[in-house]
Amino acid sequence: MVKLAEIKQENILCAAVEIFQAKGLEQASMEAISKQAEVSKRTLYKYYPTKEALFSAIVERLFANVISIHQIAFDATQSVADQLTDVARQEVDLVSSECFISLARVVCSESIRSQKYASLILQDVQQLENCKGLEKWIRGGIEAGKLNVDCPHIASEQFLSSLKCITFYPQLFAHQPPASEAEREIAIKMAVKQFVNTYEKTN
C-alpha cells in the first residue's frame, strides 16, 4: 500500500517538473511549487529544503529509470538479435514516455543554463559508470564468443543513439509528437540489424 508521504513526495516532484519547465530553476519559487503540488510550504521544506534538493531528486529519478531497464545479462542460449530487440523495446518504451521526456527536458535545460547544475548532473552520471547495462551485455557477448566488438562503450552509445534519434531527441528538443508504433518498430529493427551485421560473430 502506498503511503501518504510517498504520494506527497510524488506530487511535489511532478509539480517541480512543471514549474521548472515553465519558468526555469532560478525563476521558480518554492511557493509556486507548493501550490502546484497542493501541499503546505512546511510539508515541501520537510522533504526538499531547497530548490537544489528538488533538482537533485529529479536527476536521481531520471537516472533511476535508466538503471531499472539496464540490469541485463547476456544469454548465450538466445540469439543476439532477439536479446537486443528486447533491450531496444524497453529503451524505446522508457524514452518515449511523457514522464521521462519531461524529466529529461528539465535536466537538460538547467545543465545548459547553469554550470552549477551541470556539475550536479555530472556527479550523478559518474555514479552510473558501473551501471551501464547494455555495455555489460556487450562485454558478456564478447566473453561468450558471440560478439566481436573493439569498443563496447562506443557500440552501446551508437545503438542507443540510433533509437533515440527517432523516439526521443525530436520530442525532447523540438516538441515533436511521439513516434508512431510503426516508426518505433522500424527504428528498433534497423538498429538491431545494423548492430548484428557489424558485431555478431559468424561461424
User: Which pLDDT belongs to residue 1?
Assistant: 43
The predicted pLDDT at position 177 comes to: 94
The second-level CATH assignment, the architecture, of 1-49 is Orthogonal Bundle (1.10)
Give the model's pLDDT for residue 114: 78
Among the four given CATH numbers 1.25.40.10, 1.10.357.10, 3.65.10.10, 3.40.50.670, the one describing domain 56-199 = 1.10.357.10
pLDDT at 137: 93
pLDDT per 10-residue tile (average), the chain, 203 residues: 70 89 87 92 91 84 69 90 94 87 84 77 59 84 96 93 94 93 97 97 81
C-alpha to C-alpha distance for 30 and 32, rounded to whole angstroms: 5
- pLDDT value at residue 70: 63
Return the domain boundaries, the chain. Answer: 1-49, 56-199
